[in-house]
Amino acid sequence: MIKDLYKEGYTQNRELSWLHFDNRCLNEAKDKTVPVIERLKFVEIYTSNLTEFFMVRVGSLYDMNKASVTKVDNKSGLSPKGQLNAIYPAAKRGLKKRDTIFEELRKRLARSGIEDIGVAECDKEETKYLRKYFKRQIAPLLAPQIVDTHHPFPNLQSGTIYIAAVVRYSRRSVFAFIPVPSTLPAIITLPHKKKVRYVHTEDVIMAYAPEIFKDGEILESMKISVARSAYVDADDEVFADILDYRKKMLKVLRERRKMNVTMMVCSKKPSDHMKKYLLSNLGITNREVFVCSAPVNLKYVYSLPSLLDEDQKKEMTYPPYEPKLSASLNYSRKLFPQIQKKDILLSYPYESMEPFLQLLKESADDPNVVSIKITIYRLASHARLVDYLCRAAENGKEVDVLIELKARFDEQNNIDYSERLEDAGCNVIYGFDKYKVHSKICLITKVEKGNASHIALISTGNFNENTAKLYTDLSYLTSNPKIIEDGIAFFQNMAIGKLDGEYSTLLVAPVTLKSTILDLIDEEIKKGENGRIFAKVNSVTDEEIIVKLKEASCAGVKITLLVRGICCLVPGVEGKTENIEVRQIVGRYLEHSRIYIFGSGEEEKMYIASADFMTRNTERRVEIATPILDKAVSERIHKIIDIYMADNTKVRVLFPTGRYHKIPDVETPVTAQQMMMDLTAGSDQTIPPAAVVTRPAATVFDTTYNPKKKKKKK
């Protein structure tokens, strides 16, 4: 590790790089080639990303600064305080830009008959409708609170919208808060024959607040929302006395509700009286206060298409795209034997996750399948995958599920699923202290006539049916003996808590993944100008990998990095990173797949992985990278890469300044994601419905993989 790496001049701060990426998302909202409602979605994506940033990254820096940690960031030389001092002004500039873009889009929608209005702009009929709606649908759910000697200042919850008010009664003035219930819709559609008109629910509550405090006079009111630090570590000593890991995670979630406020958003500038009161009770300063004109809750934008007619949808949203069934499989036949004969690659969201779900469903009912083993990090809120795992366990299969309860913001969802899986008879384990299990692997074992056969699926993304339609990921289905052997060893090691297991083919963090990547870069360094490295990842922050890539660049190795988000490595720095190119693509889908390629031609080594080039992935998580050993699959991944490298529309190139720039003077625009949709030739088959069959438990055999299994004599 290089001490004071930032002095080398080819790295940048992780947090500021994150803000650059977030700004890139916001710039998509300005792109007039993007349909207007899709542009509005990018405004929401920017806002959600920024809120998460303040909860996770700023929360961590806030805690370090509060503890007087003076250690500087090795990529920028900034202390925690220095980073915070850079982050807050940048975020305020970003939100000001966000508000301007939102207002432009609001006016653009209004010209097309989609009107986002205030309560005061409603006509008589709409006002009458709103009053009735408030009394019947909203008022019964409200829990207003005044603050006095008998009612303490409320513990404002992260992400909840509150109406904050000053109410004057005959002898005193008090502060009051009305939380906006999350069970209410974000917007209320008004009755109108020719136009779509809607108001925001929090605006309605604020407008009718005088009816809640009937005996008082509201002197001041505004909408506020806070973001609290989410940086709570389940492995801290404070949780050491809790042995049940589910109970420990539930306590972590409770603790998160009381963490430091890192950001307070206000719908207007508060009076000095109101500001002083809020700052004092929340323990914040002016720095943490953001005054924004855009709605506090922007999630409603995803529901807008449902309000449009077909012509409006065509004009204002992306053309619909349904992920295709992979043409590599015959869905009228069993999938397991087909995958035994040839490797299959699924490319989400262009291809559907259905083949994998169908394989699980088939395996749950197949009397010859004896076990299913899987790792789970994030799942859909209603996951058929869990249905099939439970069904398999109820049918007598051994179902082993390693579920990560520490998946940030999905903790409660995973706790609920872990209980359901256990109730169905699955064996559930929860990972390790200090390490998150982020790998994506499934192993299915079948025994016929005493002989075991296996299929493994290794993916770059979660087994999540919803995000598989929104994120670009690759899933590799194989029965390759080397991968199967390592897959069996992986699950055996996880079951006994052995992190330092040995694997011949798979790269498994925290033991072999990083060291192998460094060795593979060294191999390319030896080739000099003939060396080649390509990586498609979400983030690049690992210092050792960054330093090694710089060494490779200095040796003449040509390096291309396709990095969706954070990139602490700055390319194009003379004498250091001039042979490195960094590209970024932000578009309709979230780029999420990870691909590593070292070398070219016959010497090429290709992997897909769950891990980014981040220290947290390479050193503090259990991750898997699998080599692509099938030539046809390898060639297909190369075609995907070629398409991404041809993009000249959504791509941005990182300059030595640390900023991304468009490719100028494009004659023929090429959009990689659109090309992938156009070129993905799916099957015209449909998956036939299967009846639910419950069979007695299959006979259990020794399922240890034996690559030297003797062939039967003819």
Pairing outcome for strands 441-448 and 436-437: unpaired
Cβ neighbours of residue 460 under 8 Å, at least 6 residues apart?
Answer: 440, 473, 474, 475, 592, 593, 594, 595, 608, 609, 610
Q: Backbone phi, then psi, for 710, in 5-degree steps? A: -75, 140
The answer to whether the beta carbons of residues 435 and 510 sit under 8 Å apart is yes
The runs of H, that is alpha helices, within 475-512 are 481-495
Residue 658 corresponds to which tokens in the numbers above? 């640390």
- Rounded to whole angstroms, how far apart are CA atoms 622 and 513? 10
Half-sphere exposure (CA, 13 Å, Cβ side) for 60?
A: 10
Reduced to 3 states (helix: H, G, I; strand: E, B; else coil), residue 473 is: strand
- Rounded to whole angstroms, how far apart are CA atoms 315 and 112? 10
The DSSP string of 523-575 is HHHHHGGG-EEEEEES-B--HHHHHHHHHHHHTT-EEEEEESS-B-BPP--TT
Catalytic residue among 438, 454, 638, 661: 438
Kindly list the distances between the CA atom of residue 407 and the CA atoms of 230, 449, 521, in Å, as whole numbers in the listed order.
Answer: 12, 41, 31
- Rounded to whole angstroms, how far apart are CA atoms 181 and 142? 7
**Is 438 in the active site?**
yes
Reduced to 3 states (helix: H, G, I; strand: E, B; else coil), residue 37 is: helix
Strand partners for 131: none
Report the sign of the C-alpha dihedral through residues 412, 418, 420, 423, in that order: negative
Phi-psi region of 556 (alpha: psi -120 to 50; beta: other; left: phi over 0): left
Q: Backbone phi, then psi, for 189, in 5-degree steps? A: -80, 130
- Rounded to whole angstroms, how far apart are CA atoms 463 and 442? 10
- Rounded to whole angstroms, how far apart are CA atoms 513 and 208? 58
- Rounded to whole angstroms, how far apart are CA atoms 282 and 164? 13
The DSSP string of 387-436 is HHHHHHHHTT-EEEEEE-TTSTT-HHHHHHHHHHHHHTT-EEE--BTTBE
Q: How buried is residue 38: exposed, middle or buried, by Cβ count under 10 Å (0-12/13-18/19+)? A: middle
- Rounded to whole angstroms, how far apart are CA atoms 16 and 22? 10
- Rounded to whole angstroms, how far apart are CA atoms 566 and 627? 25
- Angle at which helices 384-394 and 354-365 cross, to 10°: 10
- 590-624 b/e (C-beta count within 10 Å ≥ 16 → b): bbbbbbbbbbeeeeeebbbbbbbbbbbbbbebbbb
Length of the chain: 714
Number of Cβ atoms within 10 Å of the Cβ of 218: 16
What is the set of active-site residues? 438
